[in-house]
Amino acid sequence: MKANRTRIISALVVIFLIIIGFIYTSSTGVTPHEEFHVHAAFQQFIGDERQSYANEQFMHVEPCTLDDHHNDSAKTPDEKAHLHDLNGEVVHVHDETATWNDFFTGLGVTLPENAIGYINGVEDNNFLDAPIENYDRLLIVDENTTDIDGKIYNLPSVEDIRSVENASESCGN
Ligand SMILES: [Zn+2]
Ligand SMILES: [Zn+2]
């Protein structure tokens, strides 16, 4: 009898621990389908003339909630990375695999053949193939552009990117 009772108590303890563990995991809010959402900045110059993307035609207006959770690989370039809220410098990245090429393809923009990219101040010959990382700052110029260092310096700062991240956006995180 005594052995039996001990067994029942141990079983109850185990069940109790499982319940506690379950409550703990669900309250931490870790779900396998957590939306990927990071931000980066860019500016493009042709010669010394800055190209503006702060225009309705370049904005992503579809609600991002349409991103379906069971078919991530089917995201279009435009869904992976895009602009919001008439801000033509801060890119919203909604997919880990998004590259700068996805971003410009989504915009419908073909960069000039002679475009030169600097990611976080470092020249990168393959910048279009680079995955867009959180708080990356990309400068695109060509061989006629002067004062590259000054233009890198004048890119939106990480602080600027953070303030967009914190602002409410039409995307509705
Ligand atoms: Zn965003
Ligand atoms: Zn978005």
Ligand nearest to the CA of 75: 2
Average per-residue pLDDT for the chain: 86
Kindly state whether residues 15 and 60 are assigned to the same domain: no
Kindly state whether residues 130 and 93 are assigned to the same domain: yes
Instruction: Look up residue 31 and give its two tokens.
Output: 């779900």
What distance in angstroms lies between residue 169's CA and the mean position of ligand 1's atoms? 7
The number of domains in the chain is: 2
> Among residues 146, 154, 150, which one has the least CA distance to residue 48?
146
Average pLDDT rounded to a whole number, residues 120-141: 98
Within a domain: 44: yes
Within a domain: 173: no
Looking at per-residue confidence, does 39 or 69 come out higher? 39
What distance in angstroms lies between residue 150's CA and the mean position of ligand 1's atoms? 27
Share of residues in the chain with pLDDT > 90 (%): 68
Within a domain: 172: no
Ligand nearest to the CA of 81: 2
Share of residues in the chain with pLDDT > 70 (%): 77
Kindly state whether residues 58 and 93 are assigned to the same domain: yes
Kindly state whether residues 98 and 122 are assigned to the same domain: yes
Average pLDDT rounded to a whole number, residues 106-131: 97
| Beta partners for residue 90, in sequence order | 41
Kindly state whether residues 45 and 101 are assigned to the same domain: yes
Ligand nearest to the CA of 134: 1
**pLDDT score of 153 more than 50:** yes
Print the domain residue range for 8: 1-30
Within a domain: 171: no
Q: SS3 for the chain, per residue?
A: CHHHHHHHHHHHHHHHHHHHHHHHHHHCCCCCCCCCCEEEEEEEEECCEEECCCCHHHECCCCHHHCCCCCHHHCCHHHHEEECCCCCCEEEECCCCCEHHHHHHHHCCCCCCCCEEEECCEEECCHHHCECCCCCEEEEECCCCCCHHHHHHCCCCHHHHHHHHHCCCCCCC
**pLDDT score of 107 more than 90:** yes
